[in-house]
Amino acid sequence: MLYKDKLPCDPLLHFDSKDAGTIKWTWRTQPAEAIYWKTYKPKKRDIKILSRVTPEQRKKVTTELLRSIIQTEHPPKTKQPKVRTL
């Protein structure tokens, strides 16, 4: 528990994978409270798969999950076209 027993440190999360169905997973970050920071950008090594899957499925699911998180939390920035004035 973090912040004097107010926030759970390792929440159990679910992800619907195309290949492996519903996967249980959690974060493995350093420091643990990083999962609550808005500026935190997760890496592949921070995802811990709890469901029983094969090593090949684990790689695919981790990549798919990370791609989903990045697209949701940190979408790519789009450049605004410059307006030219005469």
Q: Can you tell me the mean pLDDT for 39-64? A: 88
Q: Is the pLDDT of residue 30 over 80?
A: no
Given this model, what pLDDT does residue 1 score? 46
Within 8 A by CB and 6+ apart from 28, the residues are 10, 45, 46, 47, 48
Phi, psi of 30 (to 5 degrees): -135, 110
Q: Is the pLDDT of residue 19 over 50?
A: yes
Given this model, what pLDDT does residue 5 score? 53
- pTM of the predicted model over 0.75: no
Residue 7 — pLDDT band, cuts 50, 70, 90?
low
Q: Is the pLDDT of residue 58 over 80?
A: yes
